[in-house]
Amino acid sequence: MFSKSTEIPVVTAADENYAPYLSVMIATLLDNTSRKTPIRFIIIDDDLSISSKEKLIQTAHKHSETAVIQFVKVDEETYKDFLVSDHITTTAYFRISMPKLLADKNYKKILYIDSDTLILDDIQKLYQQSLKGNTIGAVIDPGQTKALERLGIDSADYYFNSGVMVIDVDQWNQQQITEKTIDYLKTNGDRIIYHDQDALNAVLYENWHSFHPRWNMQSSLIFDKHPAPTKEYDELYKAGRKDPAVVHFTGHDKPWNTLEGHPYQEMYMDLLNKSIFMETVNVK
């Protein structure tokens, strides 16, 4: 049995529709991480079927000798009235509760990764990076760099994408980030466009460490949709496009539906078609 100090807790979330896509994230994360690295996937279970859970466990066992999968439930009532859309479900909100739920597990840090991702490098490299005293580490969101003003926040800080985060559990809980984020969602519904991500930015501004964009290469970064805020960021964006560590299929367009022209789409669909979920997925 591994100690909590060596085990890397990877928090993610899925409902039944997203289970096949989560299996690709799990498989690629494990394939790019040393087989001896103990990984614990803590999956926020939004009514996953027993069959899907079994397939996710089988996926982990196929790609690792040491990976463990644990399913957890979050109190859905807390988030039932919040904004959802065609590609953001209530599941997305559940990550807000995870550091609180894991407070007694002795994890110093947890790694949160969205299920609509393709992992191309060893996530130990990300997990072990210093947060420089901040509560989380994340990657800039190129389309929302100046969005704090929209959220009613007076700060020159940039806006981060919440699809990949390293979280200092103690700091998060000491600062009551879960409670503050839920409170912001309840009291600022008119400002919210990007769901829980907006609320996290409104609460964690000037309290996040900026990772290299290669650790969360969102579709807008891959397609170079938005100008970088500085010359330095322009160079970082270019480096990320050349050598992405995490490809994140953000937005409405996903590899399995309407996405076109994405350099990693074919690789993703090959992996999805080879997954244990293959028979249940409608591919193009």
pLDDT at 152: 93
Residue 199 has pLDDT above 80, yes or no: yes
Confidence at residue 97, expressed as pLDDT on a 0 to 100 scale:
80
Over 80: is that where the pLDDT of 154 sits? yes
Arithmetic mean of pLDDT, 182-208: 89
First to last CA, the chain: 43
Q: Is the pLDDT of residue 56 over 80?
A: yes
Residue 51 has pLDDT above 50, yes or no: yes
Q: Which of 157, 118, 110 is nearest to 27 (CA)?
A: 118
Give dist(CA 32, CA 29) in Å, integer: 5
Which range (90-99, 129-138, 235-244) has the least confidence? Answer: 90-99
Distances in whole angstroms, Cα of residue 121 to Cα of each of 30, 111, 218: 10, 14, 16
Hey, what are 66's tokens?
Answer: 């040491």
Residue 227 neighbours by CB under 8 Å, 6+ apart: 234
pLDDT confidence of residue 88: 42
**pTM, 2 dp:** 0.91
The size of the chain, in residues, is 284
Q: Is the confidence at residue 13, as pLDDT, over 60?
A: yes
Which tokens go with 148?
């704090």
Q: What is the mean pLDDT of residues 29-40?
A: 92
Q: Which domains does the chain show, CATH number per domain?
A: 8-280 (3.90.550.10)
In contact, 22 and 91? CB cutoff 8 Å: no
pLDDT at 216 over 50: yes
What's residue 4's pLDDT?
52
What band does 1 get if pLDDT is binned at 50, 70 and 90? very low
Interatomic CA distance for residues 12 and 18, integer angstroms: 11
What's the chain's average pLDDT?
89
Q: Which residue has the higher pLDDT, 88 or 146?
A: 146
